[in-house]
């Protein structure tokens, strides 16, 4: 197995198919270059792409795009697809390239490494890429971890995200949920996951808050907290008891979702004075 975790340097240096024997760099017309069929990234940030295009107009393409030649005389990207898209925006007709002969597995590996090392991929895109290495090339999680220089548990955790529903995966791809949120969602029953995901998004939960809520959901078996005969959620009743104990005075909480009131009931000026001192 090729160890590629150190990056793309080994791919760039002294390629046998490179045109220029000294630099290894040649140029190709953009219309002769096609996307990497194994590219794990499915979408590019338009704003960042425009920024890169502006930089290319000013400075040119400093790092060549790596391509491989196909049987139909077109060239398929191995690494550098974002640079190619930016070059199109900048109205370039040609781009500098290094031509290499690579296998389909290496194409996927290089695409993953380029994106993961630069933290360009979304968690679901990374998960799908790792799964593709597993499915199409029969690589174990341990072998994948060696290729991308990540520990095996990290690979397994990413792939677990694909157990989430398509709806939740789309929320992660859209940036509404992070991989941390996704791991919290995976802790609850499958039939509760989409409802829980909506609550996380609607209330803008942090990952820590999502993890806390996941534990509560597992304990009670539902996303919505159980309510007492009075109609109050059990956790609100517990808060009332805790505040009453702490301040030695009757406390009532009026709860309406994300809003409410905390009411302190006192029966004398002395009780009020003691309460104010404690507060």
CATH code for position 72: 3.90.1530.30
Q: Are residues 192 and 74 located together in one domain of the fold? A: no
Based on the fold, state whether residues 245 and 200 are members of the same structural domain. Answer: no
Overall number of domains in the chain: 3
Same domain, 88 and 29: yes
215 and 240 belong to one structural domain: no
Nearest-CA neighbor of 182 among 214, 221, 217, 225? Answer: 214
Say what the pLDDT of residue 178 is: 92
Instruction: Looking at the structure, tell me whether residues 80 and 121 fall in a common domain.
Output: yes
Which of 91, 81, 83 shows the shortest CA–CA distance to 112? 81
pLDDT value, residue 13: 45
Domain that holds residue 205: 178-220
Find out whether 144 and 133 touch, Cβ atoms under 8 Å: yes
| pLDDT tens-place string over residues 15-42 | 444 455 445 788 999 999 998 887 777 6
Ranges of the chain with pLDDT below 50: 1-18, 21-22
> Does residue 246 lie in a domain region?
yes
Same domain, 195 and 241: no
pLDDT computed for residue 6 by the predictor: 42
Say if 59 falls within a structural domain: yes
* Helix ranges (DSSP H) in 13-119: 46-59, 81-89, 104-117
Same-domain status, 55 and 121: yes
182 neighbors 172 (Cβ within 8 angstroms): yes
pLDDT at 267: 87
Same domain, 101 and 208: no
Residues 32 and 115 in one domain: yes
Identify the pLDDT of residue 183: 94
Paired with 250 in beta bridges are 265
Q: Which residues participate in catalysis according to the annotation?
A: 81
Q: Average model confidence (pLDDT) for the chain? A: 82
């Amino acid at each position: 197995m090729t160890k590629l975790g150190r990056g793309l340097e080994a791919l760039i240096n002294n390629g046998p198919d490179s045109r220029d024997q000294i630099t290894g760099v040649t140029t190709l017309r953009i219309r002769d270059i096609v996307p990497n069929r194994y590219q794990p990234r499915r979408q590019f940030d338009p704003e960042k792409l425009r920024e890169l295009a502006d930089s290319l107009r000013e400075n040119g393409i400093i790092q060549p795009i790596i391509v491989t030649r196909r049987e139909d005389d077109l060239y398929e990207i191995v690494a550098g697809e974002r640079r190619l898209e930016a070059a199109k925006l900048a109205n370039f007709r040609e781009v500098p390239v290094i031509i290499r002969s690579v296998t389909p597995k290496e194409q996927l590996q290089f695409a993953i490494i380029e994106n993961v090392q630069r933290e360009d991929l979304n968690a679901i895109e990374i998960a799908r890429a790792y799964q593709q290495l597993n499915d199409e090339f029969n690589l174990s999680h341990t072998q994948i971890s060696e290729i991308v220089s990540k520990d095996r548990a990290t690979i397994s955790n990413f792939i677990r995200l694909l157990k989430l529903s398509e709806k939740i995966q789309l929320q992660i791809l859209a940036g509404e949920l992070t991989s941390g949120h996704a791991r919290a969602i995976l802790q609850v029953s499958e039939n509760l996951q989409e409802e829980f995901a909506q609550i996380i998004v609607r209330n803008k939960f942090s990952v820590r808050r999502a993890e806390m809520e996941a534990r509560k959901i597992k304990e009670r078996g539902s996303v919505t907290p159980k309510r007492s005969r009075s109609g109050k959620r059990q956790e609100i009743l517990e808060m009332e008891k805790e505040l009453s104990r702490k301040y030695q005075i009757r406390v009532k909480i009026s709860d309406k979702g994300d809003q409410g009131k905390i009411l302190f009931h006192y029966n004398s000026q002395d009780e009020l004075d003691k309460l104010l001192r404690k507060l």
